[in-house]
Amino acid sequence: EEFRERLRLKQLAAPHKTAMTHPLWPEIDRVTREQLSYAQQDVDGGIWQLFAEEGEMKMYRRELEEDGLVVDPLKAVHQIRGASAHEMAHHFWSPDVRFEWETTLEQVTVLDRISEDTLLFLQLHKRVWPTAQRDALFWSHIREIPKSDPANCDAHDTWIVCNKSSEHPDAPNDGKCVRVDLTICFVCQTFIDPPVAEGESVSRDNLLTKITYCSVVNPGGWAPASVLRTVYKREYPKFLKRFTQYVIDKTADQPIAF
Ligand code: 16C
Give the mean pLDDT of 205-232: 96
**Ligand 1 site, residue 239, Cβ cutoff 6 A:** yes
**Ligand 1 site, residue 104, Cβ cutoff 6 A:** yes
More confident residue, 10 or 76: 76
Query: What's the 197 CA to ligand 1 centre distance in angstroms?
Result: 43
Q: What pLDDT score was predicted for residue 203?
A: 97
**Ligand 1 site, residue 231, Cβ cutoff 6 A:** yes
Least confident piece of the model among 13-22, 135-144, 193-202, 203-212? 13-22
Beta bridge partners of 121: 110, 138
Distances (CA, A) of 179 to 190, 199, 204, 248: 35, 53, 40, 32
Instruction: Tell me if ipTM is over 0.90.
Output: yes
**Ligand 1 site, residue 242, Cβ cutoff 6 A:** no
Q: Whose CA is nearest to atom 37 of ligand 1?
A: 219
Please count the CA atoms within 13 angstroms of the CA of 243 that sit on its side-chain side: 26
Q: What pLDDT score was predicted for residue 4?
A: 60
All residues at 6 or more sequence positions from 200 whose CB lies less than 8 Å from its CB, including other chains: none
The mean predicted confidence, pLDDT, of the chain is 93
Question: In percent, how much of the chain has pLDDT > 70?
Answer: 93
Q: Quick check: 11 pLDDT over 80?
A: no
* 126-162: pLDDT as tens digits: 999 999 999 999 999 999 999 999 999 899 999 999 9
Tell me the whole-structure pTM to 2 decimals.
0.93
**Ligand 1 site, residue 228, Cβ cutoff 6 A:** yes
**Ligand 1 site, residue 235, Cβ cutoff 6 A:** yes
2-251: CATH number: 3.30.530.20
**Ligand 1 site, residue 131, Cβ cutoff 6 A:** yes
Q: What pLDDT score was predicted for residue 146?
A: 93
Q: Quick check: 15 pLDDT over 90?
A: no
Residue 1's pLDDT band, with cuts at 50, 70 and 90, is low
Where do the domains of the chain lie? 2-251
Pairing of strands 134-145, 178-179: parallel
Q: What pLDDT score was predicted for residue 3?
A: 57
Q: What pLDDT score was predicted for residue 175?
A: 86
| CA-closest candidate to residue 220, choices 171, 169, 163, 176 | 176
Q: Quick check: 115 pLDDT over 80?
A: yes
Q: What pLDDT score was predicted for residue 8?
A: 52
How far apart CA 92 and CA 83 sit, in angstroms, is 13
The answer to whether 190 and 85 are in contact (CB under 8 A) is: yes
**Ligand 1 site, residue 134, Cβ cutoff 6 A:** yes
Least confident piece of the model among 33-47, 190-204, 230-244? 33-47
**Ligand 1 site, residue 220, Cβ cutoff 6 A:** no
Query: What's the 78 CA to ligand 1 centre distance in angstroms?
Result: 19
How far apart CA 247 and CA 18 sit, in angstroms, is 29
The answer to whether 133 and 178 are in contact (CB under 8 A) is: yes
Q: Quick check: 222 pLDDT over 60?
A: yes
Query: What's the 104 CA to ligand 1 centre distance in angstroms?
Result: 6
* 60-108: pLDDT as tens digits: 999 999 988 999 999 999 999 999 999 999 999 999 999 999 999 999 9
Atom of ligand 1 nearest to the CA of 102: 6
